Amino acid sequence: MINLSVNVNKIATLRNARGGNIPNVQQVAMDCERFGADGITVHPRPDERHIRRSDVFALRPLVRTEFNIEGYPSEQFMDLVLSVRPTQATLVPDAPDALTSSAGWNVEANMEFLTDIVDRLKEAGIRTSIFVGTDVDNIRAAARTGADRVELYTGPYAEEFDENPERAVAPFVVAAQAAHNVGMGLNAGHDLNLNNLKFFQQHVPYLAEVSIGHALIADALYLGLEATIKAYKECLK
């Protein structure tokens, strides 16, 4: 079974829009686990427009599955991650004001920087994942940083899926094999949903984990959180 990590950023966005503590991010995270999620993901940003640093600290003792913190590895981010010590840190190349992740790292161009970050995280016992596209040379470069996994940016797959699923998934199959060949674990995320997830997991080998937030929370508005998580888990069988 491929693990489903639920990104709860959108719960925090809804809470922050009104103030107060409704919906309660910590309670939703615990409910996600209770309903079958294999992990909880958060992506704190410097402006705290959704997940706040205080949320990350509050979630740490509550999460019983895998806890994944993703973000750009600034010193502020690293201080948070090294204090909280999640199961996994996913490194993304977002600018501080980015609306959402829209590309993977150019690893070769950032080799020294990423290698230093990975070393610091691994010394703390934190599994590391680097957010990348499907370029095979880039994935091989990611392996040279010492990272444990890559997370494939699946935005291009989602964009092309309705028009041509086979063409959309083809580069991800090649990328997955490349990651496996260099001994890296494989995650995936961005715009995966109930429409395209099953096809993706059926065709992409060696997939260990998907991280899904926006689509899952949107589906939960119609289906309810428990039914939604079960539906996503069904796609991953």
Q: What is the DSSP string of 8-60?
A: -HHHHHHHHHH-TTSS-HHHHHHHHHHTT-SEEEE---TT-SSS-HHHHHHHT
Q: What is d(CA 132, CA 103) in angstroms, rounded to the nearest whole number?
A: 7
Q: Which residues contact 46 (CB under 8 A, 6 or more apart)?
A: 74, 76, 96
Dihedral angle computed from the Cα positions of residues 41, 212, 103 and 207, in that order, rounded to the nearest 10 degrees: 90
212 Rama class: left (phi>0) / alpha (psi -120 to 50) / beta = beta
- The b/e string for 158-187 (b: 16+ C-beta within 10 A; e otherwise) is bebbeeeeeebbebbeebbebbeeeebbbb
Cβ-in-10-Å burial (0-12, 13-18, 19+) of 87 comes to: middle
Kind plus residue range of the DSSP H or E element containing 200 = helix 197-203
Q: Amino acid identity, residue 119?
A: D
The reported pLDDT for the residue numbered 97 is 61
The reported pLDDT for the residue numbered 99 is 55
Catalytic residues: 43, 70, 190
3-class secondary-structure state, position 127: strand
Q: Are 37 and 6 in contact (CB under 8 A)?
A: yes
Q: 0.85 exceeded by the pTM?
A: yes
pLDDT 10s per residue in the chain (237 long)?
899 999 999 999 999 999 999 999 999 999 999 999 999 999 999 999 999 999 999 999 999 999 999 999 999 999 999 999 999 999 999 866 655 556 799 999 999 999 999 999 999 999 999 999 999 999 999 999 999 999 999 999 999 999 999 999 999 999 999 999 999 999 999 999 999 999 999 999 999 999 999 999 999 999 999 999 999 999 999
Q: Which neighbouring-strand residues pair with 132?
A: 152
Q: How many other C-beta atoms are found inside a 10 Å radius of the C-beta of residue 47? A: 8
Q: Are 36 and 236 in contact (CB under 8 A)?
A: no
